[in-house]
Structure formats: C-alpha cells, structure tokens
Amino acid sequence: MPAEPVLEVKGLMSSYGATPILTGVDLSIGEGEIVALVGRNGVGKSTTMRCLIGLLRASGGTIHYRGQDVTRMSADERARLGIGYIPQGRDVFPRMTVEENLQVGELIGGGRQRSRMDLVFQYFPILKERRKQVAGTMSGGQQQQLAIGRVLVGGPALILLDEPSEGVQPSIVQLICRVLRSIRDDLNTTILFVEQNLDTILSLAERGYVMEKGRVVARLEPRDVSQEGVRRHLLL
C-alpha cells in the first residue's frame, strides 16, 4: 500500500467576506516530496497557503495532514503538529535581531525538540554571522533565509513556502533552492511552495499543481517540469 500522504486537500473553498476566492483546490503530497503550486497573479495561491496553515477559514472541503483532519484547527495547533508556514513577503520581525527571530520560531514550534538553532546556522551560515543584526536592516535574500530558518527551528515535517524568490537576487534564490533540497534530503521534510519565477520552479520542484481562478486545473508531472512545460501553464 502506498504511504499515507502528508497533505491531502479536497475541494477546498474559501472567501474574503462575501467574495469567493477558492472554489475547489485539490492536491495531495507524499512524504519528502517537493511540490510547486504555480499560476498567474491573483489566482489564489497565497489564499490556498493561508487556508492550509489556518490563518483563513475554509468554507468548504477538507485538509488532512498525515491522515488527521485539520480543516477546523487553529494555525497554532497546525504549527504544533509540524506544519511550518513562510508567508509571501516573509514577515520577519524587523526590529528584532536574527537570533531573537529564531527564538520566536522555537516557541512557535512548541519546543518539541532540542534547539535546532545550530542546524539552522549550518544550513544558512549568513544567519550565524549576522545573529546580532536587526532583521529589518538585512537584504531580501538574508531575510528570506531567516524566515525559513525561523520555521526550521521548530522542526517542521511540512513546510509551506509562499514565493521564496520575491525580492531576492537570483544568486541567493539559487542558494536558497539548494539549501531547501538539502533540508529535504537530510531531514525528509516535505515542501509545498508557491512560485511564479520559472528558474526557481525548475531548480526546486519535482512536480507541481497549476491553479487558475481559485482551482487546481492541472498537474505538472516530473516530465513537465521543464521550460516548455511550465511556460505552457504559466503564460497561456
């Protein structure tokens, strides 16, 4: 029997006020997979991520995490179960130092394991170098590494990452993609990421899902993770 999916989403619906945004998102992700959620601006990718972590209520459909129905759980509960979320725009605490940001991450993760701060410093040495620096004064790429590090200290089994390339210079995007791949290889962490940048999708994704107007409309199989395959779906 195939292993139970880490994340299984069926018919997910959500709205902002009276405006329906998600009208049926379906996806399923196995342990240790790296999967992209792609689609043009405004199709509901970030809205999907907010529903998955529990910052936005689902008005229909279900979300199962490792077989457990988490559809109605709070974001805190989901974080404690091992789901880490990095929002679009990163949202590090700008007035806190790198180290203080990471300490907050440890608290959010529920302190289930001994501190992983050293592990984070191994993956992102710049954070160790800058640990006393106030986060708001760092570059976009450094803040993105910090945002990922802040989730990583909680020891997540599933990372939800929204547009890691946004506002990050290309060489650092490539570094972040390499590190995310090592994290998966070393820790078997499952990763679902939203992305519009073709190079980032190609460097990181093993397969993907394509959204249009609030729904998943296609799957990107491993063979579709190519310039032509992704372009066809993104630039129709």
Ligand X SMILES: Nc1ncnc2c1ncn2[C@@H]1O[C@H](COP(=O)(O)OP(=O)(O)O)[C@@H](O)[C@H]1O
Interacting residues toward ligand X by CB under 6 A = 16, 21, 39, 41-47
* Nearer to Mg ion (CB atom), residue 46 or residue 143: 46
Q: What is the nearest approach in angstroms of ligand X to the Cβ of residue 27? A: 14
* Nearer to ligand X (CB atom), residue 175 or residue 198: 198
For residues 111 and 2, give the distance between their C-alpha atoms in angstroms, rounded to a whole number.
31
Q: Which does 82 bind (CB under 5 to 8 A by kind): ligand X, Mg ion, none?
A: none
Q: What is the nearest approach in angstroms of ligand X to the Cβ of residue 137? A: 27
Beta bridge partners of 215: 24, 212
Q: Which does 47 bind (CB under 5 to 8 A by kind): Mg ion, ligand X, none?
A: ligand X
Q: What is the nearest approach in angstroms of Mg ion to the Cβ of residue 127? A: 25
Question: What one-letter code names the amino acid at 171?
Answer: S
* Nearer to Mg ion (CB atom), residue 49 or residue 127: 49
Q: x-or-dash pattern for Mg ion, window 75-94, by CB under 5 A? A: -------------x------
* Nearer to ligand X (CB atom), residue 155 or residue 214: 214
| For the chain, counts of helices (H) and of strands (E) | 9, 10
Q: What is the nearest approach in angstroms of Mg ion to the Cβ of residue 190? A: 20
Q: What is the nearest approach in angstroms of Mg ion to the Cβ of residue 161? A: 12
* Nearer to ligand X (CB atom), residue 183 or residue 194: 194
Q: x-or-dash pattern for Mg ion, window 146-175, by CB under 5 A? A: ------------------------------
Q: Which does 215 bind (CB under 5 to 8 A by kind): Mg ion, ligand X, none?
A: none
Chain centroid, CA 2 distance in Å: 24
For residues 63 and 78, give the distance between their C-alpha atoms in angstroms, rounded to a whole number.
11
CA within 13 Å, CB half, 135: 22
Asked if residues 104 and 93 have their Cβ atoms less than 8 Å apart, the reply is yes
**Beta strands 60-65 and 34-38, pairing class:** unpaired
Q: Which does 192 bind (CB under 5 to 8 A by kind): ligand X, Mg ion, none?
A: none
Q: What is the 3-state secondary structure (H, E, C) of 116-137?
A: CHHHHHHHCHHHHHCCCCEHHH
Beta bridge partners of 159: 84, 191
For residues 78 and 107, give the distance between their C-alpha atoms in angstroms, rounded to a whole number.
14
| One of 8, 21, 46, 209 touching Mg ion (CB under 5 A) | 46
Which run of H or E residues covers position 233?
helix 227-234
Contact residues toward Mg ion (CB under 5 A) are 45-46, 88
